Structure 1
Amino acid sequence: MLINSENGIIELESSAIQLYKGMRLDQLKQTDFYKVNYHNMWDVKTGYFWYYFKTVEVKGYQLHFSLCFFEDQLHSLHMNTWESSDAKDWNEWTEEKEMQVFYRNNKFLTLLLGIPPTRKKKTPYPSVSFRFPWGSIWSVYDPRSASSLMGISYNEEAK
């Protein structure tokens, strides 16, 4: 997986796909990535649709992708690393385990981007971000949802 730091285009070599802000849903549906890894979809009923995908391997990490489309164009995406030792339900969940996911996500992004985070915050919740002219790549632990997540958010003017 490569993320072009100049324009935010994500390239998954294993699936020969490029993901970018404004990508059309019909383009995504024609890719092997979609055909092989599509898991399910959630219609938020506000014009936004989330598409969820099975885990793919990226640089030795198991990675989940969730793509957010507004109407028929890619708006943003979320990712998460996964390991078999992660909590599978609330009975296994602890904040300590979830913080390990947060740290693993941060390590993955630093490895992928080859640079340290631009910004680190501890409040209101732990997060790191890598800022670029086109948007940002971020990782957060959100105690309100008891989850850790990474994502790419594009500036509104970015195309």
Structure 2
Amino acid sequence: MLINSENGVIELETFNIQLYRGMSLEQLKQTDFYKEQYHNMWDVKTGYFWYYFQPIEIKGYQISFSLCFFGNQLDIIHMNTWENGDAKDWNEWTEEKEMKVFHRNNTFLTKILEIPPTQKKKNPYPSCTFKFPWGDVWSVYDPRSASSLMGINCNEEEKTNKK
């Protein structure tokens, strides 16, 4: 996997696919990534639909993708690393385990982006951000949802200029 530092497009070479904000749901559904890795979908009932995918191996890490479409357009890209020792339910969850996921996510992003984080914060909650001219790639531990996530944000002007 490569996150293109010029435009924020995610390239999944194994599946010969590019994921980017504005991509159509029909484009996604035609890919091997969708056909082989699709797990389930959640209709938020607000025009947003989350599509969840089985983890794939990328540079020694198991990475799962959650793609949020608004109508027919990809709007939000979330990712996460996964290992067997991670909590599978609330009975196994501890903040210590979740912080390990957060640190593993940061290590993964540093490895694939090949640059150190631009910004690290502890408040209001732990986060790590890699800034680019088109937007940023981020990792956060959110105690309110008791979860760690990675994602991509595009600047407003970039959102309208994409494919």
Band the TM-score falls in, shorter-chain normalisation: over 0.9
Give 1:18 shift: 0.5
Q: Which residue of 2 aligns with 1:71?
A: 71
Give 1:108 shift: 0.2
SS in 2 for 1:157: helix
* TM-score, with structure 2 as normaliser: 0.95
Give 1:156 shift: 2.5
Q: Which residue of 1 aligns with 2:41?
A: 41
Summarize the alignment of residues 45-124 of structure 1 with structure 2, pairs less than 5 Å apart: 45-124=45-124
Summarize the alignment of residues 110-149 of structure 1 with structure 2, pairs less than 5 Å apart: 110-149=110-149
Give 1:90 shift: 1.1
Give 1:82 shift: 0.3
Asked whether the equivalents of residues 62 and 83 of structure 1 are also in contact (C-alpha less than 8 Å), the reply is yes
- Percent of counterpart pairs with the same letter? 76
Q: 1-side partners of 2:34 and 2:57: how far apart?
A: 15
Runs of 4+ in 1 over 2 A off after TM superposition: none
CA RMSD of aligned residues (A): 0.8
Single out whichever of 26-35 and 149-158 deviates more from structure 2. Answer: 149-158
Aligned length: 159
Asked whether the equivalents of residues 102 and 149 of structure 1 are also in contact (C-alpha less than 8 Å), the reply is yes
User: Does 1:4 find its partner at 2:4?
Assistant: yes
* TM-score, with structure 1 as normaliser: 0.97
Gaps of 5+ in 1: none
Asked whether the equivalents of residues 76 and 154 of structure 1 are also in contact (C-alpha less than 8 Å), the reply is no
Give 1:157 shift: 2.3
> What is the identity, as a one-letter code, of the residue corresponding to 1:149?
L
Give 1:136 shift: 1.1
Give 1:17 shift: 0.5
Asked whether the equivalents of residues 75 and 154 of structure 1 are also in contact (C-alpha less than 8 Å), the reply is no
Asked whether the equivalents of residues 56 and 63 of structure 1 are also in contact (C-alpha less than 8 Å), the reply is yes
Q: 2-side partners of 1:43 and 1:92: how far apart?
A: 28
